[in-house]
Structure 1
């Protein structure tokens, strides 16, 4: 089963004339694959990602998440589905500055309510260790480097064991060494943990490291290339 399937997905903003951000996008996102969405600025890359991640609502088309039709769900149901199945990593880490690393990673688990408090802390500790942050669990974001903050964001994205990890320019603020480390982590999450990882990027080096490259132009999918 594909983790995501989109059929004729569209997003149009009202106006005179209306503005189409994504037009008739049909694609399948597979588990076990690292997929990148590439294209020039303003081509609709992030708009497509936000539709796939249930952040924005399409104006047409169908979206299946792990086989479940998410197209007609109300806001609360979309939020619950997003919390269960998705983890997000953005260009800016969006960590809560007053919370420690372990507290930031624990937040999605507390919202989902699947684990008891001791289970939440144990999983957060394990995720931070897995992302190379052992010993820094009690530090607030201002006491971490840029690369460390982004790794906390990745650990937070994994908190609820999602099938899908979506990234919007997740290496945009990192140097080349930390960018390579993040890409290696994404490849591991896809290849070794059988997750679907999808990243918007303008970096062709990152695109070259992915298994599937979706090229967009003027709001449409121009091509899909597989390694």
Structure 2
């Protein structure tokens, strides 16, 4: 399996007085086909690292090589395009648009990317909804679905443009154990069967136990990675 994502001395310091270091000298390599969790106490920099890996934030120092491209030097427009094309995000809260159906929510990033016709975009939306077991919920709005179903719609939306990297920030934080297990199984499938890299920040022991690799953070630093 080839390396998809590599960081070299990645550091993020907030320019306040006194300066606050969120991530310090992070060196990390993640291969395709791997399911990785980032764990550690609250406030240790897990989410800050995830936002750097997902190009939502810029490092103060260091390099981030994503799919062969040094993303740390890209313009804001180039970073946004790279995120849209190759990275999917799943957060603790689903952030679905309440007035849109499940299918319409999944079609939002497809339309933003603009590679597919509307008909093919609808077909792609149905394809990813089916992959998370929700094709029968496609025409329902979020208020007509359970919490677990809404989170799986959010996962389908993250997969809409067929990303090579899927990032989760406490993606099971609002789910019961049954739905948490469903999400874990989906993430394992996306990594092992589809060749994506999946990286999740989590406090959920079931996710951590199911991962191929666990990255431990403390005080903004990566202290171990089994």
- Whether the 8 Å CA contact 2:128–2:160 is kept in 1: the answer is yes
- Whether the 8 Å CA contact 2:37–2:211 is kept in 1: the answer is yes
Q: CA deviation at 1:2?
A: 1.2
| Number of residues of Structure 1 aligned to a counterpart in Structure 2 | 225
Cα distance in 2, alignment partners of residues 84 and 29 from structure 1 = 19
Cα distance in 2, alignment partners of residues 147 and 213 from structure 1 = 25
Equivalences for residues 33-44 of structure 1 within 5 A: 33-44=34-45
Equivalences for residues 26-175 of structure 1 within 5 A: 26-175=27-176
User: Partner residue of 1:209?
Assistant: 210
Cα distance in 2, alignment partners of residues 134 and 72 from structure 1 = 40
Higher mean alpha-carbon deviation, 202-211 vs 43-52, is at 202-211
Q: CA deviation at 1:204?
A: 2.0
User: Partner residue of 2:20?
Assistant: 19
* Secondary structure of 1:173's aligned partner: coil
Cα distance in 1, alignment partners of residues 166 and 49 from structure 2 = 14
Moved over 2 A (4+): none
Q: CA deviation at 1:205?
A: 2.2
User: Partner residue of 2:225?
Assistant: 224
- Whether the 8 Å CA contact 2:181–2:206 is kept in 1: the answer is no
Q: CA deviation at 1:191?
A: 0.3
- Structure 1: where are the runs of 5+ without partners? none
- Structure 2: where are the runs of 5+ without partners? none
* Secondary structure of 1:3's aligned partner: strand
* Secondary structure of 1:37's aligned partner: strand
